[in-house]
Structure formats: C-alpha cells, structure tokens
Structure 1
Amino acid sequence: MTIQQGQELLIENLAAGYGKIGVLWDVNVRVGPGEFVAMIGANGAGKTTTLRAVSGVVRPTGGSIRLGGQNITRATPSQIVGLGLGHVPEGRELFGLMTVRENLELGAAMRPEARAKAAQTLEYVYSLFPRLAERAGQLAGTLSGGEQQMVAVGRALMGCPSVLVVDEPSLGLSPLMTQTVFGALKAVHAEGVSVLLVEQNVGLSLKLAQRAYVLENGEVVKEGTGTALLADPGVREAYLAL
C-alpha cells in the first residue's frame, strides 16, 4: 500500500458560487485524519460545489479550507493535488481516446512522490479493480459506465492522496457495480485515507460513514454519526422515503 495516511480537511464558513449566482453560504465540515464522512442533500443543495471548492475548481468567495493544517482556500487545483487531495468528480471526466492505463498514469503526474511509486500504486489499483488490469490497453471511452467509474477512482488514487473526495460514485451504475466501487472506497479508508463522500444513495453512504452532514440550500442543517442520521425521522422521510 503506497497511499498517504489521512490528513484533516477543515471547511469553515465556506461561501462559493458561479459568477453572481451564490450556491454555498455558510458551510462548515470537518473530516478528521483517517475519517470517513458523508455529505447528503437534495439535488442543488451545494454538495458538488463544496467538493469543487475543496479541489480548487471553484474559487470560494468567503470562508476558508485547510488541508492538513495548510490553508488551500486560494490554492490552484495542481497545488491542492500536490498537497495530497484526490478528487473523483461527478461524471468521471476521463480521456476517452486514451487507454485505461494512460488515464490512470495521469493521476500520478502532479506529484513527484506519486510518480516515484507509480508502478506500486498501479498494482494496488489493479488489486482493487482487477477488471482494469484486464482492460489496461483498452480506450477508456469504450468501457462500460461502471468500468469508467473504476478508472476515475483509480486515477485519483494514483496521486497517493491523504484525503479523497468522491462525488456521486454510484451515478448510473448497477447495484453490483455500486457494491464494487463502494467496496474499494471502504478498503482505501481502512488503509487510513480520509474520505469525504457525496452520494445519492443515502442509505448506503450513511451505513459506511462514521459521521455525516446534511446540506440544504447551501448550508449545513444537520450533522451527526452515520448511524444517528440513518435513524433520524427527518432524514428517513426526506431521503429514504421511510
């Protein structure tokens, strides 16, 4: 195993949006070192924007973000990756005309330490997703949706992240493929990596998460252990149809 041990991710009073359109108003989230945290909420609540702000794709308009104690609020995406953040984006965002292996190897390109042990990390990724080893020379654009999601997760892991943020990994996947991807996330967390998960499958994510946050209209409205939120009547009614 060559991935870094987990660092703390601390989001305080975060505000962000797109142009003049505000999306986040006052988001406070903490992922402790080696912790598995979920973020749930309806479509448009601001979950994806939060992850994009963490990875530097969206520039915050207020508040702060710290990774391992370092302020990354104004850092560029490449700088943030260099400090140990891995981002699995919604929609995968693979290079369809490049092979599986080439897509994976790109994940190590931004960090010298990741490049130095890329061969080891690649074997680790293949151990999580044996199908990717079988498809290594295949163009990523010709893979099934589930296989592409494996590549997206594997690419983030190639950067040897200490904190992994994952956006809607089960989107469009079969139940079997969802279990495969979530099994890999569970295994990565067991190695000590900090995980922040945004996921439409609320029941599954709360069962995995040690703690979780509920976002509504760009603000955190509830937080607690995964078990407590899974039993919360309001959460069950709003997100589990129970």
Structure 2
Amino acid sequence: MTEPHLQGQDLVIEHLAAGYGKVQVLWDVSLHARPGEFVAVIGANGAGKTTTLRAVSGVVKPSGGRILLGGQDITRATPPQIVALGLGHVPEGRELFPLMTVRENLELGAAMRPEARAMQAQTLEHVYTLFPRLRERQGQLAGTLSGGEQQMVALGRALMARPRVLVVDEPSLGLSPLMTQTVFGALRAVNAEGVTVLLVEQNVGLSLRLADRAYVLENGQVVNEGTGAALLADPRVREAYLAL
C-alpha cells in the first residue's frame, strides 16, 4: 500500500543511490513530480542528472533507495516493464536507428504498450501535428536528418508510447536557438495536455522559466529545490548557473 505522503504522485524518487560499476554517482537523491507538473533538474556536468534519469527508466540499476511510478515500485523493473507502466524517455544523444526511416523509428515507440499499439495511428498523427516537418520527412532515413529533426524524432518516439511521465535529457544539446524554441514549444504543449515532464537541461534559464518546480543537483545529491521562479531569482543559482 502506498504511504499517505506519496499518494497522488506520478513519480517518486527516494534516497536514490546509483552508479556504474564501482563508481558511485548518486548518493541520496529524492524528488517527486505530481500529475501534470513540469519539473526540472539542474546542475553542473557530472552532478548526476543523466544518471538519475537512467535509473528512472531502468537503464541503470539503483544500489539504494527506491523509485515509484504511479504508485508502483519500479526500482528493480526492466526498461520494457517501465515503459509499459507509462514512462517515456528521451535520452541524451537521441539514440535513433539511423538506417530506419523516421516513421519506422516513431512506430517503435508504441511497441511496448498494448494500448499504445492500439492507438498507434492516432498518436502518430498527433506527433505529426506537433512536428509537421516529420510528416514531410517520414520516409527519410533518420541518420540523414539534421540534429534538430533527429531531436523531434526522439521526442516523438517517446510520445508514441502514450506516457504518463516523460523524462527528457538535454533536448537542446547542439540545437540552434530557433530549433530549441520548437522543441521546447512541443514540450510545453505535451505538458499542457496532462503529461508529467521531468527535464534535465543545461539551459538553466529556459528550464527554470518553464518549470513548475525544480531541483538543484550537486555531487549526486539534491542541495536545493523550489519553484522554478524562486530558483531563477535565487542569487546562489544565478551566480552558479546563470553567470549573473
């Protein structure tokens, strides 16, 4: 039975510890996201942001703590099991299949959830509405796309699973300002439709302006948290991450 203080949360991470082999990266990370929230995680390179998202999606196995998705313990679940429970992951670097077409990459996103497969055509149309350029490029090999177009495919592929929680890792990496606006506009639209978003992003100012709440990660631990607006105004955050 879910504890009272955890009820109503889409995603809960409690005292998470994780790493790679003998190298520990996360020591004690706790955060949560309520249904429909936009939550950002900020921090310097090496703080443990990507490892946190990988632990949520089952790619990295925690050595301590626990993770709940919609009240269900997914700490030891496999990535396919976690996707089937309603998590979508947009990884850093996109990780597309370059020799498959745009459409084939997108359709793979629906493979792990029966309800997503049943609504594949409808969801694909929704993705094409979010990203009209992908409709134009649907028969093109993913490896021949620009970086921004590949990021659209990576986000669209995650949305094809019809997730309740979407975790997104560095979506603006390598993108032009105009393409960054396009990708973040889509994230805002998806969040407005009720999808909970957990974002890791080096563009701290943009992240905090979008976020309902945010966490600051340093050396594998949460050292500060608050509303996006409050952290954006925090002198320590501005000095450390915004060079102000």
The equivalent residue for 1:91 is 93
Does the CA contact (< 8 Å) of 1:7 and 1:162 recur in 2? no
The equivalent residue for 1:139 is 141
1:48-72 per-position Cα deviation (integer Å, ceiling 9, x unaligned): 0000000000000000000000000
1:106-140 per-position Cα deviation (integer Å, ceiling 9, x unaligned): 00001110000000000000000000000000000
The equivalent residue for 2:46 is 44
Structure 1 distance, partners of 2:178, 2:9, is 31
Q: Using the TM superposition, give the Cα deviation of residue 7 of structure 1 relative to its aligned residue in structure 2, in angstroms.
A: 6.1
Aligned residue among 73, 80, 95 for 2:75:
73
> Structure 2: which 5+ runs fail to align?
1-7
> Structure 1: which 5+ runs fail to align?
1-5
Between the two proteins, what is the percent identity of the paired residues?
84
The AA in structure 1 aligned to 2:200 is V
Structure 1 distance, partners of 2:35, 2:9, is 4
The AA in structure 2 aligned to 1:102 is E
Does the CA contact (< 8 Å) of 1:140 and 1:148 recur in 2? yes
Aligned residue among 162, 169, 174 for 2:164:
162
**For 2:167, what is the secondary structure of its paired residue?**
strand
Structure 1 distance, partners of 2:56, 2:129, is 28
The equivalent residue for 1:183 is 185
Does the CA contact (< 8 Å) of 2:39 and 2:198 recur in 1? yes
The equivalent residue for 1:3 is none
1:224 equivalent in alignment to 2:226:
yes
Please tell me the root mean square deviation across aligned C-alpha atoms, in Å: 0.8
**For 1:105, what is the secondary structure of its paired residue?**
helix
Q: Using the TM superposition, give the Cα deviation of residue 223 of structure 1 relative to its aligned residue in structure 2, in angstroms.
A: 0.1
Residues paired across the two proteins, number = 237
The equivalent residue for 2:5 is none
Structure 1 distance, partners of 2:131, 2:36, is 22
The equivalent residue for 2:56 is 54
The equivalent residue for 1:238 is 240
1:148 equivalent in alignment to 2:150:
yes
The AA in structure 1 aligned to 2:144 is T
TM-score normalised by L of structure 1: 0.97
The equivalent residue for 2:11 is 9
Does the CA contact (< 8 Å) of 1:7 and 1:163 recur in 2? no
Structure 2 distance, partners of 1:26, 1:200, is 21
TM-score normalised by L of structure 2: 0.96
Aligned residue among 25, 32, 35 for 2:34:
32
